Each structure stands twice: as structure tokens, then as C-alpha cells.
Amino acid sequence: MHKPNILLIYTGGTIGMVKNPNTGALIAFDFDSILNKIPELRLLDCQIETISFDEPIDSSNMNPEYWADIAAVIGDNYHDFDGFVVLHGSDTMSYSASALSFMLENLAKPVIFTGSQLPIGDLRTDAKENMITSIQMASLQKDGEPVIREVGLYFEYKLYRGNRTTKINAEHFQAFESLNYPNLAESGVHLNVNDEYLWRTEEESGLIVRTKMNKSVGILKLFPGISEPYIASIINSKALKGLVLETYGSGNATTEDWFIDLMKGAIDNGLHVVNVTQCSGGSVIMGQYETSSQLKSIGVISGKDITTEAAITKLMYLLGEGVNATDFKEIYETPLRGEMS
């Protein structure tokens, strides 16, 4: 029987830290000796190899250049491994999982992001369980083919679609949630996979790694009392090509003339504006109320039930790929990797 080959990619973050018993300071450990830190990995029915960033980074410093590095590692090793586990700081993990889902076109193998709230050497750490089960998830096969064929995020007994996740808690072990899409799998006494919710690539062609992410994007969160000069200073920036507009409820915004005029002018000048809800769960339904019908009429893109993390990375991706302006709205509103319903 072929044992799955899993590549463990360490980018940085709490999961790869150990505490110096003398000073209490956290330092990154050498992942080549991971079996010494987690001997339980020897019990897994797979082969594990590791690769680390030359300089592990805090996830607060994550950016599209590092996303390209992760994508390149996966692309370069794609034919030699059956699955990939990316160890990553939790703060920006949802952004990275979303970005990689777009960058890895025709992905047909598992890429599982995970991390931890406590360092791997801590007595109460969640790092070991998250890492061990992520590797198990990446190793799952049926009839010699991977069960998971998408970018996932595993944390605290649940595997989520990566581009559907949001970090919801900075202190609890259950740090992530996927409020608009069911879990892909749960870990208990057994690993239970929800096959009906798994993403399946329709393309039969091989993996294409796309790394041209355009950073000329922004996020604007509306709030009662937001001023005209403030919005104008943002959307009139010549460097801005795409904007995620976080609106109220099901996509509602103020109907004051100055706001609609500013948005219309920006869109007419080529700015792509995506409407997403500020709510943790639910969907934008433009036109349901009068307070969103004007946004729809001036050409604002509906983000439907996409997360802000996926919305901004999808903007970067489509702008980086140079999607034609006339097709941009239609393509954005189409699910590409299961990121929206």
C-alpha cells in the first residue's frame, strides 16, 4: 500500500514556537527535528517531510509576496507529495487560506492551513492536536485519490473551507468559524468527512500557480456619521483599483446624495467596488431594501455571502490577472473556488 507523502510547510507563528525554560522567551524550533517534539507523528500512516521559511514570520507581517512563496513551494513539490499542511500564525490565516485558494488553480490535492493559540511546548497547547489532525486530513485517500481537494483550514476539531473562514476569537482554542458554509469535516473519536460539501475541481488539467496579486485595493467600513471628506479621500486615490465596501445588514448603506454621487463617480472612473456585509454571517442581497437598490443601480458588485478576507484577496487576484473591466463584475459574482454561494 502506498503511504501518502505529506509536505509540512512552516511559515511562522505560535505553532512553531517553544518557550525557553530559563528566560520564558518564545523561539522558533528547528522543524527538521519535529519528530522529537511530537513523537506521536510516527504513528501516522504517512511519510512526512518538512520545509521552513528561511526566516519564519509573524502572521501580522504576511503579504502577497509571502503568499507567492507558499504557492511556489506547493507548485514545485506538487507531483512529489499527496498533500500539504501549511503552519501559519492564526491572526491572518483566513486571508492566506483565501488567497491560496485563488492562486492554486485546478488544485486536486489537499492544502490544509493550521496553527495554534499556544506554543507547541506549552503544557496546555492546542498545537499538537491541530498539527496531527491536519496531517491526517491531508492524508485521507479513497481509491488512491485524495479525499480533500481544496484549500482548507483546520482548527480545534473542525476542518473548514479556507476561503469561508474568519478568526472570531483571540483567546479561545475555537478561534475560527465558517458562518456561511458547513464544516468539511469534524475530528472526534473518528474523522467524519462531509463529502457533500467538498469542493471538486471541474477542470481535468494540471495545477496552475497564479501569483500576480494586485495590492491596489482597500477596505472601507461604513458607520453612522461617516463623513463625505473621509470617504472622498479614500475612493479618489489614484492608486486604488478595487474597494471592499463593508455595509450594514444585507448590503445597505446611506442613501444621501453625496455618498451615492461619490460611489458612482468612482465606479465610472474604473474603481471596482464590492459590497459585503459587516455581519458575521448572512449575505448581501442588493435591491432587497431601498437603502441598497441605488448601490445596485450604479454598478456596485455584490459580494453575496463572501467573507471580507476572501473578498479582498479575490479582488487582488482578479486585478492581478488583468480581468477585462467589462467582464469584471460578472466574474467576481461567480464562485471560483467555492468562496460564495
Residues labelled as active-site residues: 14
- Measuring CA to CA, how many Å separate 182 from each of 197, 198, 323, 338, 341? 7, 10, 30, 12, 12
Which residues make beta-bridge pairs with 220?
Answer: 245
Amino acid making up residue 280: S
Dmax over Cα atoms in the chain, in whole Å? 68
Secondary structure (H, E, C), 254-306: CCCHHHHHHHHHHHHCCCEEEEEECCCCCCCCCCCCHHHHHHHHCCCEECCCC
CA dihedral 50, 54, 59, 64 (to 10 degrees): -100
Contact call for residues 155 and 114 (beta carbons, < 8 A)? yes
